[in-house]
């Protein structure tokens, strides 16, 4: 199956939303206007934006620590996300979790977790619910997280139980400085699917069309009750953490080329196909900026939590 | 009322809750089939409810824990089993970092209603990897509740409460208790989490205990009665959050405390209870707060050696005599 | 490479030693003469006996819970093992660990561990030492233990580090009652090697010749510094635990046929090749019985530990 | 004497021990290369000693723990790093069941000389999965030692001792302490495990503390001095096995105790210390044993909220005032 024009423009729009938001996050962090632990997905925008065309709004989405793009792409509350980055009471987790614990259950999205790999097990649990309720789970993590044992336990269990889960690996060949050469055996993460006799494939993770065609094939397989699949998307992340960005502008200049940048590349493609025009590009970019501005305004005008708020919600009812 | 074994009371609680709510499901190793759980707790439930609701898994404790969290977060009520207590460290992150923080870190928006059952094999000759004491593992974990019933009545009532609770609950079973019998009502009932139970009233000494040590305490109380010492037996039932008011009231009454727990002494559940008393009830105390607990030694696979490091009536009585001095 | 006559007879002798010892263990447990948690390897004797021809005496051997056969095959102190089963102070772990914690470091054997799967990680640690000291590690566990995440983490790390480890899986399609159909994805455990691009193969684990030829090929690979291999041996265990044996004699009668019994089958083979004669068979069996008798005598005449002995050795020095 | 940061003192200890014994090796995530460890503790050691002795691994905490046990059992001295304290539950079985029991269950025949270093990120805005408190995780684990130094001197001396120790030792670092400076001798020295250190003498109140809370205690003592209260600061240095004699001596002298620890209050390290005092030193006490600790709340990623659940000078001084009442 292929993406139609409208879908592709939606994807493009989401990529722009994520890009502008993540850039702003880096910028504001550098200025000291926002604080905390933040892991941008700059350079990887194609994956979340495309997956949003693969799952339904009420399907489940469970990601690892680098979940901001997925949160946005699923249509989770963008204002609340920005309020969270500003540590406000109106934040998606009331200003408690910060960027690495973004979640929005009204959109079935658990897009934060900071113990790398643990989300694979949680996604597998979500799979039991999805199986009962006729939904699917899309589970996403970095290639580094596939070296945790829980990845293996999860794939094995999901396969035996024929759980409806698409396991997606964002392969950026980087784990806090280490490359796969130093840490990871096997030529491709997708090969790990062979261990369980489930479908596995590697696609160009900077190309929405490539991601989509394999992902939608796998989702059909999954929805038909045949169990999980493993999709590896090759991409590149431009920055590990907001605190690691030294000279972001230079980096961005260098990589804003169709070879490295999934957005620039998608623009070339959309233009060649006559889908994207100057006017449309401008409109899309404006739209992204407007959304961002609205979210920033919402966040900045939101109240800070009261110090004592941090004592609530340890349990669902006071004990 | 009917008289039943604890193993049957636990199974009855599982069965009732599975009938009551179709989102309740069981997951663990060898729960179904011939095995029916290592201690036959889940025997027959797979036949009644099918394999989608009594899920046998691979030896994958971390995934079992992950499933508990994920399935709970997305709205079901998993009751998972970790075959035995010594294996709980394999699921420590899923308990401490995931289940324990989820409600909080989601801004109170995601509940995590899962129950993690496990069986302690204390007082059995299976060595340190089977018979380790793990009751204190989550006392230092915000967001986690843990219960350890001593009677069939409490076990059934606490398990039903735990399954309906919207927070993660560790449910501790003890192999020597499975065959202990007791009265259980015919009609439905629940035992609250966080409430201790005075299993015997007394006025000279309070024994704070739970699970296996409740029996030791009651028998010791009986014997001490003959020596003219009146012993109150306070069964915590819930290890965390423990019942501070009940402890305070009893200590104020007796002024003497012995805490008996079948775990390693140092850093055990009883250490927390003793610290609470030293902090908040010290004015009522007329004797040191004694802890009767296992020695800080890995559990050997040899009855001669076990005898020497574990506890029972003798150690409890000893401690009562000391606080009465 | 193939086994020569002498080696094959050694293997046969070891199989007999293990068989007679494990049977005696079941018998004495049933009688109540020995107590505790004991996991016999009846039916699987070919694997430990053959591996003993593959590793050198000072290579390292690390197994899971069902390690008794491996302990014996490596030539660890047999008398001390029996003293352990009797809970005596002269036992291999001073009567503390019992049958599931048999270990003998004077033979570099950690052949006990009762948290299923954890031995894979320990073996990987042994691999770092082996790499430095020019030895290899043979790590052995049941197929069930390969569903623990630590198996995956270990294989990945050992591969990246090119550790000299032969990972051996004893596939008996049973994990405390569950079969692989209920628990395990993938047609063969050996396929899990593909995930890491290392050699993996499945052999008939009841046939010493089949085990040997693949294992020795892998050991050559390993010794040459190329990293780990995964060998799956298909076998069948006759009993899970001493306490699960209801009618051992009947079971033994039924299975004592060359189709199911690795020993009966090896005897047929050795006879056909003219290696085994009636007299030799008798001599071997007598020898096994003599060893067993001597060990039983040693054990029964050994002192019990003092109750207070159980307080020692929590730390290597009193604190 | 040279003045140095704790991070450098730790690196120096590693380096000296690697030079002293070629069986000492480091293993963990991102220890080498540009990263040089999350907090640059191991920076440059890969260049000096090579990749076989400074091993960068995958994100595989369980295997890291397994390697620690296996390499130690077979005769090397692994010093492994778990990137941060919150991840320690991932290696809980390797600590509790494997490292903790090996010497014992092998009949005293196998040593397990491994060090597991980890860094706590307390007082930083990284949320519950990074900044969780895990100092109490092994207090209830026989066979495990754990140290938590507060000065560069203690850090270097304790780490060298830990590496040469034949038992498993957990070495706790605290990110706010890395940049604290202090004097360290030029010549080689060792600090014993299991010995507390009186960081300041006093006669009215004993503050028992370790790691980050030592600084709070010393500053509080300074301030209280002005109010005429003489505060003794007892730095445990070793969390387990803790120095009972030093505690006893100080409590006998002052009769008043505040235990300050940067962990969750309930079931924390301080609970054990309080229980010990309530059991063995109760006759010396003239005030309740107060615990100053973090609230039982997962650590939020927000300084406003962190402020309210964590501890510092203010809470310590408060407690001193209360025991002086
Ligand atoms: C279990 C665990 N180990 C280590 C860390 C520290 N850490 C945070 S992100 C990261 C790298 C993750 O790499 P990968 O999974 O490839 O995701 P990426 O960051 O590239 O998106 C590490 C090691 C952690 N948070 N959790
Ligand atoms: C981590 C863990 N989970 C569960 C158990 C309980 N248990 C003991 S043996 C066993 C089955 C192991 O199966 P396998 O690895 O195939 O070995 P086998 O017993 O067949 O030799 C189980 C589940 C355990 N000891 N450890
Ligand atoms: Mg990565
Ligand atoms: Mg098996």
Chains with at least 3 CB pairs less than 8 angstroms from chain B: A, C, D
Nearest to C298 by CA among C89, C99, C111, C109: C89
Residue A1's pLDDT is what?
A: 75
* N- to C-terminal Cα separation, chain C: 53
The parent domain of residue A179 ranges over: 5-264+285-298
Q: pLDDT tens digits for C228-259?
A: 999 999 999 888 888 876 667 777 777 778 88
Taking any CB pair shorter than 8 Å as contact, residues of chain A touching chain D are: 35-37, 87, 95-98, 100-101, 113-117, 144-145, 147-149, 175-178, 182-184, 304-311, 314
Mean pLDDT of D32-42: 88
Instruction: Return the structure tokens found at A104.
Output: 């929005």
Among all bound ligands, the one having the nearest atom to the CA of C115 is 2
Question: For residue C308, is it within any domain?
Answer: no
CA distance B16 to B270: 33
- The alpha carbon of A30 and the centre of ligand 1 are apart by a number of angstroms equal to 22
* Contact indicator for B258, B229 with CB cutoff of 8 Å: no
Identify whether A100 is part of a domain. yes
Residues with a beta carbon under 5 angstroms from ion ligand 4: C 142-144, 172, 174
Q: Quick one: pLDDT band at residue B207, thresholds 50, 70, 90?
A: very high
Look up the ipTM and state it. Answer: 0.98
- Cβ of A178 below 6 Å from ligand 1: no
**Which residue has tokens 């009668």?**
C253
pLDDT bracket for residue C177 (50, 70, 90): confident
pLDDT score of A257:
82
pLDDT in tens, B259-310: 999 999 999 999 999 999 999 999 999 999 999 999 999 999 999 999 899 9
D305 touches chain B (CB under 8 A): no
Q: Counting every residue, how long is chain B?
A: 325
If one counts every other C-beta atom within 10 angstroms of the C-beta of residue C318, the result is: 8
Determine how β-strand A165-171 pairs with β-strand A200-204: unpaired
State which H helix or E strand residue C120 sits in: helix C118-133
pLDDT mean over A165-187 = 95
Flag whether A119 is in a domain.
Answer: yes
Give the least confident one: A50-54, C48-52, C254-258, D174-178. C254-258
Strands D145-147 and D238-240, by their bridges, are: antiparallel
Lowest mean pLDDT among C146-155, D64-73, D127-136: D127-136
- Mean pLDDT, chain C, integer: 95
Residues 6+ away with beta carbon under 8 Å from A29: A35, A38, A242, A243, A245
Q: Does A175 touch chain C (CB under 8 A)?
A: no
A129 at the C interface (CB within 8 A)? Answer: no
Burial class (CB in 10 A: 0-12, 13-18, 19+), D190: middle
What is the C-alpha separation between C177 and C49, in angstroms, rounded?
Answer: 26
Contacts of C204 (CB under 8 A, 6+ apart): C210, C211, C233, C234
D interface test, pick of B87, B140, B206 with most D CB neighbours within 10 Å? B140
Domains and CATH numbers, chain D: 2-184 (3.40.50.970), 197-323 (3.40.50.920)
What is the signed CA dihedral for D46, D47, D49, D53, rounded to 10 degrees? 30
Closest CA to D119 of D56, D40, D4: D40
Distance CA A296, CA A298 (A): 5
Q: Is the pLDDT of residue A156 over 80?
A: yes
Q: What angle do CA B303, B307, B310 make, to 5 degrees?
A: 125
pLDDT recorded at residue D233 = 98
Touching partners of C (3+ C-beta pairs < 8 Å): A, B, D
In a domain, C244, yes or no: yes
DSSP β-bridge partners for residue B145: B169
The 3-state secondary structure of A280-299 reads HHHHHHHHHHHHHHHHHHHH
**Which has the closest alpha carbon to B142: D260, A310, D265?**
D265
Give the total number of structural domains in chain A.
1
* C-alpha distances in Å from residue C156, one per residue of A185, A190, D162: 5, 14, 29
Please report, for residues D192, D195, D209, the alpha-carbon distance to residue D238 in angstroms, rounded to integers and kept in the order given: 9, 7, 10
Closest C-alpha to ligand 1, atom 11:
A175
* Closest to B14 in 3D by CA, of B57, B56, B38, B46: B46
Mean pLDDT value across residues B53-70: 98
Tell me the residues surrounding ligand 3 (ion) with CB < 5 Å: A 142-144, 172, 174
Position C1 scores a pLDDT of 75
- Could you tell me which of A142, A127, A217 has the C-alpha nearest to residue A180? A142
User: Using one digit for the tens of pLDDT, what is the confidence trace for A76-96?
Assistant: 999 999 999 999 999 999 999
User: What's the distance, CA A234 to chain centroid?
Assistant: 14
Contact predicate D194/D243, CB 8 Å: yes
Structure pTM?
0.98
List the B238-240 sheet strands across, edge first.
B54-56, B24-28, B77-82, B115-120, B169-174, B145-147, B238-240
Residues A228-260 have pLDDT tens digits of: 999 999 999 888 888 876 667 777 777 778 888
Q: Is the pLDDT of residue D272 over 80?
A: yes
pLDDT in tens, C139-154: 999 999 999 999 999 9
**Domain assignment present for A317:** no
| Residue-level pLDDT at A71 | 98
In the numeric block, which tokens belong to residue B205? 């000494």
Residue C140 lies in a domain: yes
Contact D110 C103 (CB under 8 A): yes
What span, in angstroms and rounded, lies between the C-alpha atoms of D106 and C92?
Answer: 8
- With a cut of 70, say whether residue A154 has pLDDT above it: yes
Q: Which residues of B touch A127 (CB under 8 A)?
A: 70
CA distance A134 to B4: 40
Which residue of D58, D128, D297 is in closest CB contact with A183? D58
Residue A73 contacts residue A21 (beta carbons within 8 Å): no
Give the pLDDT of residue A250: 73
Contacts of B241 in chain A (CB under 8 A): 319
- pLDDT for position C246: 64
pLDDT at C135 over 70: yes
Question: Is the predicted pLDDT of residue D37 greater than 90, yes or no?
Answer: no
Share of chain D above pLDDT 90, in %: 95
Q: Spell out the residues 6+ positions from residue D6 whose beta carbon is closer than 8 angstroms to its own.
A: D149, D151, D152, D155, D173, D177, D178, D179, D180, D181, D182
Q: Chain B window 238-257: which residues touch D at a Cβ cutoff of 8 Å?
A: 240
DSSP result, D144-180: -EEE---SHHHHHHHHHHHHH-SS-EEEEEEGGGTT-
Instruction: Provide, rounded to the nearest whole percent, the portion of chain B with pLDDT above 90.
Output: 95
Residue pLDDT, tens place only, B140-194:
999 999 999 999 999 999 999 999 999 999 999 999 999 999 999 999 999 999 9
The helix or strand, by DSSP H or E, that contains position D197, with its residue range, turns out to be: strand D197-200
CATH code for the domain in which residue A102 is found: 3.40.50.970
CB D246 within 8 A of CB D234: yes
CA of A100 to the centre of ligand 1 (A): 11
* pLDDT on residue A247: 63
Task: With cut-offs at 50, 70 and 90, classify the pLDDT of residue B72.
Answer: very high
Q: Where are the beta strands (DSSP E) in B65-158?
A: 77-82, 115-120, 145-147
Give the number of other CB atoms < 10 A from CB of residue C272.
9
State mean pLDDT over A186-191.
96
With respect to residue C293, please indicate whether it lies within any of the assigned structural domains: yes
The C-alpha atoms of residue A203 and residue A213 are separated, in whole angstroms, by 9
| Chain C interface, best mutation among B300, B311, B314, by max C CB count within 10 A | B300
**Domain presence at residue A131:** yes
pLDDT tens-digit profile of D71-118?
A: 999 999 999 999 999 999 999 999 999 999 999 999 999 999 999 999
D49 has pLDDT over 70: yes
Please give the average per-residue pLDDT across C200-227, as a whole number: 98
- pLDDT tens readout for residues C23-75: 999 999 999 999 999 999 999 999 999 999 999 999 999 999 999 999 999 99
């Amino acid at each position: 199956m292929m993406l139609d024009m409208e879908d592709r423009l939606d994807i493009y729009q989401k990529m722009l939303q994520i890009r502008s938001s993540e850039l702003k996050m880096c910028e504001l962090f550098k200025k000291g206007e926002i604080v905390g632990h933040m892991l941008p997905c700059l350079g990887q925008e194609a994956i979340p934006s495309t997956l949003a065309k693969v799952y339904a709004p009420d399907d489940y989405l469970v990601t690892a620590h680098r979940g901001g793009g997925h949160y946005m792409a699923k249509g989770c509350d963008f204002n609340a996300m920005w309020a969270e980055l500003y540590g406000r009471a109106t934040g998606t987790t009331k200003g408690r979790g910060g960027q690495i614990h973004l979640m929005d259950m009204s959109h079935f999205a658990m897009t934060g977790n900071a113990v790398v790999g643990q989300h694979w097990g949680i996604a597998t649990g979500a799979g039991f619910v999805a199986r009962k309720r006729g939904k699917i789970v899309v589970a996403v993590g970095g290639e580094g997280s596939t070296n945790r044992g829980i990845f293996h336990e999860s794939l094995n269990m999901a396969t035996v139980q024929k759980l409806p889960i698409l396991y997606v690996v964002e392969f950026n060949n980087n784990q806090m400085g280490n490359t796969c050469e130093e840490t990871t055996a096997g030529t491709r993460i997708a090969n790990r699917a062979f261990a369980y006799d489930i479908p596995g494939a590697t696609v160009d993770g900077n190309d929405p069309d490539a991601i989509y065609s394999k992902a939608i094939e796998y989702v059909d397989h999954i929805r038909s009750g045949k169990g999980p699949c493993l999709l590896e998307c090759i991409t590149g992340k431009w920055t590990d953490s907001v605190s690691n960005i030294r000279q972001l502008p230079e980096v961005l200049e260098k990589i804003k080329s169709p070879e490295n940048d999934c957005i620039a590349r998608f623009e070339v493609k959309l233009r060649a196909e006559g889908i994207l025009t100057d006017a449309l590009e401008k409109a899309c970019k404006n739209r992204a900026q407007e959304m961002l501005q609205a979210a920033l305004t919402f966040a900045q005008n939101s109240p800070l939590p009261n110090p004592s708020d941090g004592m609530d919600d340890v349990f669902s009812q006071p004990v | 009322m009917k008289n039943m074994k604890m193993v049957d009371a636990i199974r009855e609680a599982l069965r009732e809750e599975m009938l009551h709510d179709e989102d309740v499901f069981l997951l663990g190793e060898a729960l179904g089939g011939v095995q029916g759980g290592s201690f036959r707790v889940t025997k027959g439930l797979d036949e009644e409810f099918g394999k989608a609701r009594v899920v046998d898994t691979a030896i994958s404790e971390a995934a079992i824990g992950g499933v508990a969290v994920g399935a709970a977060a997305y709205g079901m009520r998993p009751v998972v089993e970790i075959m035995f207590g010594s294996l709980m460290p394999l699921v420590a992150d899923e308990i401490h970092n995931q289940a324990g923080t989820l409600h909080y870190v989601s801004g109170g928006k995601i509940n995590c209603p899962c129950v993690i059952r496990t069986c302690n094999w204390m007082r059995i000759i299976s060595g340190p990897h089977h018979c380790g004491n793990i009751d204190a593992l989550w006392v230092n974990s915000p967001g986690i509740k843990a219960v350890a019933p001593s009677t069939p009545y409490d076990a059934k009532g606490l398990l039903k409460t735990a399954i309906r609770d919207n927070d993660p609950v560790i449910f501790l079973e003890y192999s020597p208790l499975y065959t202990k019998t007791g009265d259980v009502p015919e009609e439905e009932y629940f035992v609250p989490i966080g409430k201790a139970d005075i299993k015997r009233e007394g006025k000279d000494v309070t024994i704070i205990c739970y699970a296996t040590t409740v029996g030791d305490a009651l028998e010791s109380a009986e014997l001490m009665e003959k020596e003219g010492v009146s012993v109150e037996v306070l069964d915590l039932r819930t290890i965390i959050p423990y019942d501070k008011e009940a402890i305070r009231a009893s200590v104020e009454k007796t002024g003497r405390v012995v805490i008996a727990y079948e775990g390693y002494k140092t850093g055990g559940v009883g250490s927390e209870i003793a610290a609470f008393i030293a902090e908040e009830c010290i004015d009522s105390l007329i004797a040191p707060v004694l802890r009767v607990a296992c020695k800080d030694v890995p559990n050997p696979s040899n009855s001669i050696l076990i005898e020497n490091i574990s506890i029972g009536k003798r150690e409890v009585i000893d401690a009562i005599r000391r606080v009465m001095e």
